[in-house]
Amino acid sequence: MEHRVRAKELLNRVTSPQEAASLVEDGMSLGIGTGDSIACPKTFFTALAQQAKGRLRVKLFTGGPVPHEVDGLMVEADAYERRFGQFSNAWLRDAANERRFPLLDTRTGTLPHQVRDGRFGRIDIALIEAAAITEAGYIVPTTSLLDAPSYAVLAEKVIVEINPQVPPEIEGIHDVYIPEVAPHRKPIPLEKPGDRIGTPYIPVNPERIAAIIESSLPDNPPPRAATDQNSQKIAHHLLEFFSNEVKRGRLPPNLLPLQFGVGAIPDAFAAELAKSSFTDIEFFTGTFGDGGLDLIDAGKAKALSTASLYLSQEGFQRLYRDLPRYKRYIVIRPVVLADCPELVARVGLIAMNSGIEVDIYGHVNSTHIQGSRIVSGIGGSCDFMWNAFLSVVLLSSTARRGAISCIVPMVTHVDHPEHAVDVIVTEQGLADLRGLAPVERARTIIANCAHPDYKPLLSQYLEEAINSRGGHEPHMLEKAFSFHLRFAETGSMKP
Amino acid sequence: MEHRVRAKELLNRVTSPQEAASLVEDGMSLGIGTGDSIACPKTFFTALAQQAKGRLRVKLFTGGPVPHEVDGLMVEADAYERRFGQFSNAWLRDAANERRFPLLDTRTGTLPHQVRDGRFGRIDIALIEAAAITEAGYIVPTTSLLDAPSYAVLAEKVIVEINPQVPPEIEGIHDVYIPEVAPHRKPIPLEKPGDRIGTPYIPVNPERIAAIIESSLPDNPPPRAATDQNSQKIAHHLLEFFSNEVKRGRLPPNLLPLQFGVGAIPDAFAAELAKSSFTDIEFFTGTFGDGGLDLIDAGKAKALSTASLYLSQEGFQRLYRDLPRYKRYIVIRPVVLADCPELVARVGLIAMNSGIEVDIYGHVNSTHIQGSRIVSGIGGSCDFMWNAFLSVVLLSSTARRGAISCIVPMVTHVDHPEHAVDVIVTEQGLADLRGLAPVERARTIIANCAHPDYKPLLSQYLEEAINSRGGHEPHMLEKAFSFHLRFAETGSMKP
C-alpha cells in the first residue's frame, strides 16, 4: 500500500474493509462508478453486504454495470432502500421486476447532474476503486470513471479501495473534467474525441478521504463474447452502408467518431472494421470491449474516448501488458462527458445501439419485455441517439429461435421514438429511414429488416391499418400488440 | 423599396411575385423559416401556388408554423412533392393524414443541420421575409429567424420578400449565429439567454439574391388565445411548485431560464408570473406569445431569447409601438440555437411543454391521436425536454367535455418517454416524478393529475396489471388501449 498511497499523511486512513463498511449508516446514500468487476469497490461491498443484513438499507447511485459482488450481495442482504441508475446483474433485475425496492432506471449521463442539483438529497459516501493516491492526495482510478468523479467531489466522505491487480501504469489514461451545474455551466472545451481537457486524477479534498482499503477479491472480467453469424451479417451490412455514404460524399473518408456498446454485434463490427480500408477512426463512446483493442492493434484507431473499459480477462491482460502504447490512444472520461449531448452533437457521432424490438415505424424498445419486465437500463443510449449525426439501431430480426419477431407492429415500450432513429440494421438487411415519412419507413423496414417468416404478417398489419384506419402513422390499436399477445399465449409470434 | 433595400446595386433584382415565382422549377427544394403569418414570404407563395397548379411540385423545408398562404394554398394546388418540418395549418394536417404526399415531421432544431449535411439533397431556393437589406447586401429578417438563416446560407438562390408592414426599427433584434457542421463544430459561445454572439443580419452573399419582391398581403396574426379556468389552475399549481422549489433551495430565487410555447396555458402562466414576486426572469424558448410582452411590461423579464414571435394582432402593435424598449429584452435567434441541446443544458432550462395525453408511467404523446392521426409536429419539444434541468408537461386532465381522459393506461404514441419527464401538471394538481420508480410514478400521477371520473378506472388498471402481470412497469397489453378503444366505439372513455 505504501507504493500506491503516495500521500504519506493518508496512510493512517488505511483500514480493514469491515471498519470501512461500518462507516455506512442506515438510510445513507452511496455513489459508485463501476466498470463491472474491475473498477468496482467490490471488497468494500462484500463487507458491507455482510454487515447490512437485517441492520441497514442504503440508496445506491451508479452509472455503470455493477457486478454481483455489489448488486447480487446487496440484493441478497435486502440492503437497498432504493437503487438509482444502471444495472447488469440478474439478481438486481429480478428484484426490480418483483419491485422488492424501487429501481430508478436513469440516463447515465444525466444522473450525476441530477444528484448534484440536490433533487435526490445529498451523497453521504462515494466509493472509488483506485490504482493509487497521488502525493497531493488525489485519486487515480482504475479502468473506469463513469460517475465516480461526480460523486467523489460531492460526497461528504470518500472511501478508496486500492486494487493492486491494476498496474500503476494505468495513471495518465484518465481525463477528469466535471462541468459546472447550470446555470453556471460553461462551454465544454472538448472538440475531438482524443482531446484532454482535465486532470489525470479525481481532485478530491484529501480530508474527505475517510478510509482506504485494499482490494482482496480477484478481478473477474467476463469471457469475450462469442461472435455469431447474425452479428457478422449485421456488421457487414453496416460497413457496406458506411462505404457507400463515403462514396456519396455524405461521410468523411475516415467516417465520423463511432459509438457502440459491448457484445457480439459490436465485436463483429470491430472485426469488420479492422479488415476494412478505413483508417484514423475515432471513437467517442460510453464503454468498449476487446474489439477496441483489436482496432488499435490493427492500426485503425486514432483515438478512443470512453467512460469505462469492458474487456475480457484476456483483454485486460493485453491492455496491462502494453499500457504505455494503449494509453496513447485511450482516454477514460467521466460519463457526464462521454454521454454528453453537447459533445455528441459537436463531434458528429455515429451512434450504434441495440434494441429488444423495433416497430414498423422505427420506434425502439431497448429495455422492457412485453412492456413490463425490465431487462436492461436505458444507459446513455438516448443521449447518443438523439444527438448523433447518424443514429443506427442494430438487432437480430428474430429471437428465441424464430419464435419472436424483433420487428413488430408496435413496440410495447418506447425508449427511442422514431425521431431518434436514422438507420435500422438486422441480419436481413439495412433500412435507411432518413427522409422517409412513416408509411414509407414501415414498408422499408418490413422489406429490408424483417425476417421472411414475419414479412407477410407485418405487411398485412400495415396495409389493413392504412385501409381501415388511415392517418399519418396508421395503427389498429386492437391489433397493435397481436404479435406479443400471441407469443404470451402460444409461445410463438407465428400464427 | 429604396428605403428598405439599402444595397443600391441590388435594386435591379426587385421584381414581381410572379417573376420571382417563375424561378421555381418542378422538383426543386425550397427552404423557409416562418413565424406564421408574419415573417413568412406569403406574397411569393401565393404567386407560386397559382403557377404551380398542375405544373410543378416542390419539396418544402421549414421549422416554423406555416400559414394558410403557404401550406393551405400549396396543398390546394397539389404542389408538394414532399414536405419536411413543422406545420400548423389544418389543410396540411388533413393532407398528411390522408398521405396525399409524404410529410416528414422533424425536430425543428435538427432539420437545418440535417439539410446541411446533404442527406436530403441540396436546397435550391431559400425564401426570406425581410425588413431590409443592408448596405452590404445582408438580409435583416422580420419577427422570426427559425431555420431561415440555415437555408439562406445554403441555398443556390435566395428570394427576399420585403414586408413594409414591419417597422425598420426591428433591425438589431436578431442574433444570427450558425454552428459549423460536425465534425468541425466548435463550442457555441453562448452562456446566458440574453447573450449576443452573432450578427444582426443574415450574412448571405448578395450575388445569390436572385429576386426581391414586396409583400402585398396584409399580415394576419391570430387573435390572442382566450384564457380558461383549467389553464389558470395549471398555472397556479406550477407557480406554487416553483415557489416551493426556491424555498427548498433547489431553484435560484429568479428561477432558471424558462421555455414555453404559445396558447392558453402559457398565457395563463405568464399572467401568474407577472403577478408573482419573481423578478429578473430569463426565457430561452422557441417562440413566445403576448404573455412574453406582458412580462416585460410587468418588469419581470431580464431577457427573452426566442426563434420567433407568435404574437396577436394587438401584440404586434404593442411591439411595433415600442420597439426600442422591447429590443433591450428580446433576442431572436436561429432555431438551431434556440432548440440546441448544448445550450438548453448549459442555461439549465425549465422546459414546459404540452401533450395530448400522458400515461400512468409518464410517457407523453404530443402528436398523434389514437396513435394514427397527426395533429401537430414534434417541434423542438424533445430537445427541450431531454436536456432541461426540469422538464414539465402541462395539459388538462380531460378533453371533449370529459369524454376523453388525457391520463391513460398507455399512450398510443410516444414522443417523450418517461426519462424525459420530471413533472406533470393538470388542473387537478401536480405530480413531481423525480426520484420515483414506475409504479410510484403511476400512483402519483393517478392521485394528483387524473380527473376524479377516471381515477378509479386508472387505479383498477394499475393494480390489476401489478397483480396479474407484475414487472418493473406492469402493463396488460390486451387492455393497455382499452380507454381508446372504448372511445372509438362509444364516443367516451367512460364505461
Q: CA of A96 to nearest chain B CA: how many angstroms apart? A: 6
B256 neighbors B283 (Cβ within 8 angstroms): no
Per-residue model confidence as pLDDT tens digits over B8-42: 999 999 999 999 999 999 999 999 988 788 899 99
What residues pair up with A157 in beta bridges, in sequence order? Answer: A125
Query: What's phi and psi for A22, nearest 5 deg?
Result: -70, -10
Q: CA of A318 to nearest chain B CA: how many angstroms apart? A: 31
First to last CA, chain A: 64
A120 neighbors A29 (Cβ within 8 angstroms): yes
What pLDDT is attached to residue A347? Answer: 97
Per-residue model confidence as pLDDT tens digits over B450-469: 999 999 999 999 999 999 99
CB pairs under 8 A between A and B: 236
How many Å apart are CA A249 and CA A72, to the nearest integer?
49
What pLDDT is attached to residue B33? Answer: 85
Same domain? A170 vs A246? no
Query: What's phi and psi for A231, nearest 5 deg?
Result: -60, -40
Report if residue A458 sits inside a domain.
yes
Residues with Cβ < 8 Å from B456, sequence gap 6 or more? none
10 Å CB burial of residue A434 (0-12, 13-18, 19+) is: middle
Chain A, nearest residue to B251 by Cα: A117
Same domain? A170 vs A79? yes
Same domain? B69 vs B149? yes
Report if residue B75 sits inside a domain.
yes
10 Å CB burial of residue A226 (0-12, 13-18, 19+) is: exposed
For chain A, what percent of residues have pLDDT higher than 70? 100
All residues of chain A having their beta carbon less than 8 Å from the beta carbon of residue B378 are: 419
What residues pair up with A392 in beta bridges, in sequence order? Answer: A352, A423
Report if residue A196 sits inside a domain.
yes
Same domain? A210 vs A234? no
Same domain? A379 vs A472? yes
pLDDT above 90 (res A489): yes
CB contact under 8 A, A473 and B371: yes
Of A185, A121, A182, A111, whose CA–CA distance to A148 is shortest?
Answer: A111
C-alpha cell at B118: 446533404
Query: What's phi and psi for A85, nearest 5 deg?
Result: 105, -155
Same domain? A101 vs A33? yes
C-alpha cell at B56: 410543378
A204 neighbors A158 (Cβ within 8 angstroms): yes
All residues of chain A having their beta carbon less than 8 Å from the beta carbon of residue B414 are: 363, 414, 417
C-alpha cell at B23: 424561378
CB contact under 8 A, B118 and A249: yes
Of A292, A370, A306, whose CA–CA distance to A343 is shortest?
Answer: A306
CB contact under 8 A, A475 and B389: no
Q: CA of A203 to nearest chain B CA: how many angstroms apart? A: 23
CB contact under 8 A, A378 and B419: yes
For chain B, what percent of residues have pLDDT higher than 70? 100
pLDDT above 90 (res B369): yes
Query: The domain that contains B12 carries what CATH number?
Result: 3.40.1080.10
Looking at residue B468, what DSSP letter applies? H
Nearest-5° Cα angle at A248, A194 to A407? 80
First to last CA, chain B: 64
Mutate which: A177, A358, A473, vs B, most B CBs within 10 A? A473
Report if residue A221 sits inside a domain.
no
Confidence of residue B434 (pLDDT cuts 50, 70, 90): very high
Secondary structure of residue A355 in the 3-state scheme? coil
CB contact under 8 A, A363 and B414: yes
CB contact under 8 A, A114 and B478: no
Residues with Cβ < 8 Å from B478, sequence gap 6 or more? A481, A485
pLDDT above 90 (res A211): yes
| Residue A334, preceding peptide bond in cis (omega within 30° of 0) | no
Confidence of residue B224 (pLDDT cuts 50, 70, 90): confident
Domain count, chain A: 2
Shortest CB distance from A386 goes to which of B348, B382, B475?
Answer: B382
Same domain? A115 vs A264? no
CB contact under 8 A, A440 and B102: yes
Confidence of residue B63 (pLDDT cuts 50, 70, 90): confident
- ipTM passes above 0.90: yes
Q: What is the DSSP string of B55-103?
A: T--EEEEESS---IIIIIHHHHTT-EEEEEE----HHHHHHHHTTSS-E
Strands of the sheet with A281-284, listed across from one edge: A330-332, A301-306, A281-284, A258-259, A350-354, A390-394, A423-426, A429-432
Report if residue A337 sits inside a domain.
yes
Same domain? A256 vs A396? yes
Q: CA of A392 to nearest chain B CA: how many angstroms apart? A: 15
CB contact under 8 A, A183 and B257: yes
Neighbours of B351 (CB within 10 A): 27
CB contact under 8 A, B439 and A99: yes
How many Å apart are CA A421 and CA A75, to the nearest integer?
36
All residues of chain B having their beta carbon less than 8 Å from the beta carbon of residue A408 are: none
Last residue of some domain: B166, B187, B214?
B214
Distance of alpha carbon A425 from the chain centroid: 20
Chain A, nearest residue to B111 by Cα: A435
Neighbours of B425 (CB within 10 A): 26
Report if residue B220 sits inside a domain.
no
Distance of alpha carbon B442 from the chain centroid: 29
CB contact under 8 A, B183 and A470: no
CB contact under 8 A, A477 and B481: yes
Last residue of some domain: A214, A248, A269?
A214
Mutate which: A108, A367, A472, vs B, most B CBs within 10 A? A472
Same domain? A16 vs A43? yes
Looking at residue B416, what DSSP letter applies? B
Which of the residue ranges A219-223, A488-492, B184-188, B399-403 would you say has the lowest mean pLDDT?
A: A219-223
Shortest CB distance from A439 goes to which of B99, B117, B485?
Answer: B99
Residues B227-260 as b/e (b if ≥16 CB within 10 A, e otherwise) read beebbbbbbbbbbebbeebbeeeebeeebbbbbb
Same domain? B413 vs B447? yes
How many Å apart are CA B132 and CA B353, to the nearest integer?
34
Q: What is the DSSP string of B258-275?
A: EE--SSHHHHHHHHHHHH
Report if residue B221 sits inside a domain.
no
Query: What's phi and psi for B76, nearest 5 deg?
Result: -60, -35
Mean of the per-residue pLDDT values of chain A: 96
10 Å CB burial of residue A249 (0-12, 13-18, 19+) is: exposed
Report if residue A220 sits inside a domain.
no
All residues of chain B having their beta carbon less than 8 Å from the beta carbon of residue A434 are: 114, 119-120
Q: What is the DSSP string of B312-371?
A: -HHHHHHHHHTHHHHHTTEEE-BHHHHT-HHHHHHHT-EEEEE-SEEETT--EE-SEETT
Segment (H or E) for A197: none
Neighbours of B389 (CB within 10 A): 23
C-alpha cell at A153: 467531489
What pLDDT is attached to residue A13? Answer: 98
Q: CA of B181 to nearest chain A CA: how many angstroms apart? A: 8
pLDDT above 90 (res B274): yes
pLDDT above 90 (res A63): no
All residues of chain B having their beta carbon less than 8 Å from the beta carbon of residue A118 are: 249-250
Q: CA of A263 to nearest chain B CA: how many angstroms apart? A: 24
Last residue of some domain: A181, A214, A247?
A214
Mean of the per-residue pLDDT values of chain B: 96
Same domain? A351 vs A430? yes
All residues of chain B having their beta carbon less than 8 Å from the beta carbon of residue A346 are: 182-183, 185-187, 342
CB contact under 8 A, A256 and B183: yes
All residues of chain B having their beta carbon less than 8 Å from the beta carbon of residue A480 are: 371, 481
B338 neighbors B286 (Cβ within 8 angstroms): yes
pLDDT above 90 (res A37): no
What is the average per-residue pLDDT within A49-60? 97
B112 neighbors B150 (Cβ within 8 angstroms): yes
Shortest CB distance from B477 goes to which of A183, A387, A484?
Answer: A484
For chain A, what percent of residues have pLDDT higher than 90? 94
Per-residue model confidence as pLDDT tens digits over A77-125: 999 999 999 999 999 999 999 999 999 999 999 999 999 988 999 999 9
Q: Which domain holds residue B132?
A: 8-214
pLDDT above 90 (res A224): no
Same domain? A210 vs A268? no
User: What letter represents residue B13's amino acid?
Assistant: R
Per-residue model confidence as pLDDT tens digits over A257-292: 999 988 899 999 999 999 999 999 999 999 999 999
